[in-house]
Amino acid sequence: MLVLGIESSCDETGAAVVDHDGRVLSDVVHSQVKLHAPYGGVIPELASRDHLKNAGPVVREAMSSAGLSWERIDGIAVTNRPGLVGALLVGVQLAKGLAWARGLPLVGVDHLVGHLLAVFLRRGEDAALPPEFPFVALLASGGHTAIYRVDGPSAAHVKELGATRDDAAGEAFDKVAKVLGLGYPGGPAIDRLARGGDPKAVPFTLPMGFSKSFELSFSGIKTQVAARVREHGVPATEAEMAGTCASFQAAVTSVLAKKLVAAAVQERVSTVVIGGGVAANRELRSRVTELAGQHGIRAVLPELASCTDNAAIIAYAGLVKLQNGERDSWNLIATSATSLPRSTRKGRGAR
Ligand code: KG4
Ligand code: ZN
């Protein structure tokens, strides 16, 4: 079975072809990073217009680099939630047009389910063996951060164990990078600078770090970095900048790894997985592998290209739905809300 996936929920226009084993036959991503960089964040109206310009050519390139004719495609999957609605509409409408013209089944995919199933994709020959259900997953992207118990490959099989009460982990990387003058997006820049830094240089405290709950919080550490910059200015030397990045990154990744593994121990599952843009973070990857290993738990990490936004994760999540007999009709809508359950209340205060 071969499925064409289309992704346009935020600032990446993607199209990819994936087979039933999760093998990625093509994966084309057109990034809008340069378009939004001068504003320090994504401007929704600019994102929609850029998707409109690039979605057609990106699909054409995904088909030609897979070396496939349309007759070989068995279905079309498209991100229809959550995301910027104007941006989602571009992908959804393109997918409907293609499905109608080719007489193919259409399925809408929750972007977050795509991230959760990213570990099933196989790009290189040495891709890790996919995990078995059930597992506990950390989803950490620019807009969402949560720990889930996952009993099967659809939203109905996902239970939230804890989520952030405020900012997402990727959002914290982006905001801290902005305060430090490192540009947008912040995750890759902080990851790179932290490599040479002393993680003990700045004693940041991480809210919820010692709490037994699986709920998370990242706005406090962002405020700590901002307060330091207000008091001392932006780190002046290379070593100070690297130390600030390393200390921030160590605080965030240690609490993510600790809570993920603790959740797996509580749920008595033998596998943990990670997904979302922050899953590309080098330190998070090594901490999760090491800590899981200490508890006899297998950590399955997606390949780097499967972490940040791409259409292969959408094609695979859609393929699973199609195999299940699911179909969407021509009135498939786009919405900013995820279909995943949410139990963590946003905001401060006692629980
Ligand atoms: O999953 P994604 O591509 O888009 C969303 O669905 O949000 O995640 C983007 C987020 C951004 O906040 C970006 O700064 C972060 O992932 N990110 C990273 C790294 N690469 C991307 N954060 C930490 N370390 C990285 N290497
Ligand atoms: Zn994403």
Q: Distance of CA 53 to CAs 32, 46, 56, Å? A: 11, 11, 7
Is the alpha carbon torsion for 34, 40, 41, 43 positive or negative? negative
Strand partners, 140: 145
Residue 306, ligand 1, Cβ within 6 A: no
In a 3-state reduction of DSSP, which class is residue 218?
coil
Residue 141, ligand 1, Cβ within 6 A: yes
Q: Distance of CA 235 to CAs 182, 220, 244, Å? A: 11, 20, 8
Tokens of 221: 């550490």
Counting atoms of ligand 1 from 1, which one is nearest the CA of 111?
6
Q: Name residues whose C-beta falls within 8 Å of residue 304's C-beta, 6 or more positions apart in sequence.
A: 280
Tokens of 241: 């900048």
For residues 187-198, give the mean pLDDT: 97
Residue 248, ligand 1, Cβ within 6 A: no
Best mutation site among 30, 81, 113, 141 for ligand 1 pocket (most ligand atoms within 8 Å of CB) = 141
282-294 and 186-194 helices cross at what angle (nearest 10)? 70
Is the pLDDT score of 351 beyond 70? Answer: no
pLDDT in tens, 151-184: 999 999 999 999 999 999 999 999 999 999 998 8
C-alpha span between 125 and 325 (Å, rounded): 30
Q: What percent of the chain has pLDDT over 90?
A: 91
Q: Which ligand number lies closest to the CA of residue 249?
A: 1
Amino acid at 186: G
In residues, how long is the chain? 351
CA of 100 relative to ligand 1 center, distance in Å:
34
Residue 142, ligand 1, Cβ within 6 A: yes
Residue 14, ligand 1, Cβ within 6 A: no
Residue 302, ligand 1, Cβ within 6 A: no
For residues 317-322, give the mean pLDDT: 98
Residue 281, ligand 1, Cβ within 6 A: yes
pLDDT in tens, 116-134: 999 999 998 878 899 999 9
* Confidence band of 212 (pLDDT split at 50, 70, 90): confident
Residue 309, ligand 1, Cβ within 6 A: yes
Tokens of 203: 């004693």
- Give the residue whose CA is nearest to atom 13 of ligand 1: 187
Amino acid at 298: R
For residues 29-38, give the mean pLDDT: 95
Counting atoms of ligand 1 from 1, which one is nearest the CA of 112?
6
Is the pLDDT score of 349 beyond 80? Answer: no
**Cis bond leading into 185, ω under 30°?**
yes
Q: Name residues whose C-beta falls within 8 Å of residue 35's C-beta, 6 or more positions apart in sequence.
A: 11, 46, 47, 50
pTM score, whole prediction: 0.96
pLDDT in tens, 218-263: 999 999 999 999 999 999 999 999 999 999 999 999 999 999 999 9
CA of 195 relative to ligand 1 center, distance in Å:
17
